[in-house]
Amino acid sequence: GEDVEQSLFLSVREGDSSVINCTYTDSSSTYLYWYKQEPGAGLQLLTYIFSNMDMKQDQRLTVLLNKKDKHLSLRIADTQTGDSAIYFCAEGEESSASKIIFGSGTRLSIRP
């Protein structure tokens, strides 16, 4: 079945870049997502990329997709304390059900 894997923790210094990595198994994925979850809250879509794209940039966020290796990454430039959260990688197909499969989440902590 589908599976999405990501490392559980990442610690970076404030002002540095954060890179969160993810691998997925479903080659028929249409969309790949990054969601952000702040403590005690629901998930918020940060950015997404279509499977026919290699890269997407949105302000401080850069998403890279290596479809051959089924590898997705999220780079956050100039990481700030407000970026502390859990970041979920997810994959989905374009279908009537629009199911999304989530990874376990990477907890990003920022040190001064």
Partner 1 sequence: SQTIHQWPATLVQPVGSPLSLECTVEGTSNPNLYWYRQAAGRGLQLLFYSVGIGQISSEVPQNLSASRPQDRQFILSSKKLLLSDSGFYLCAWTAGTSYEQFFGPGTRLTVL
Residues at the contact surface with partner 1, assessed by CB under 8 A? 8, 30-31, 33, 40-45, 48, 88, 92, 94-105
Nearer to partner 1, 27 or 44 (CB): 44
Nearer to partner 1, 1 or 112 (CB): 1
In the complex, minimum distance from the CB of residue 87 to partner 1, in angstroms, rounded to a whole number = 11
> Distances from the Cα of 100 to the Cαs of 1, 10, 31, 54, 89, in angstroms?
13, 24, 9, 20, 10
In the complex, minimum distance from the CB of residue 6 to partner 1, in angstroms, rounded to a whole number = 8
Cα–Cα dist 91/101, whole Å? 5
Helix or strand run (H / E) with residue 69? none
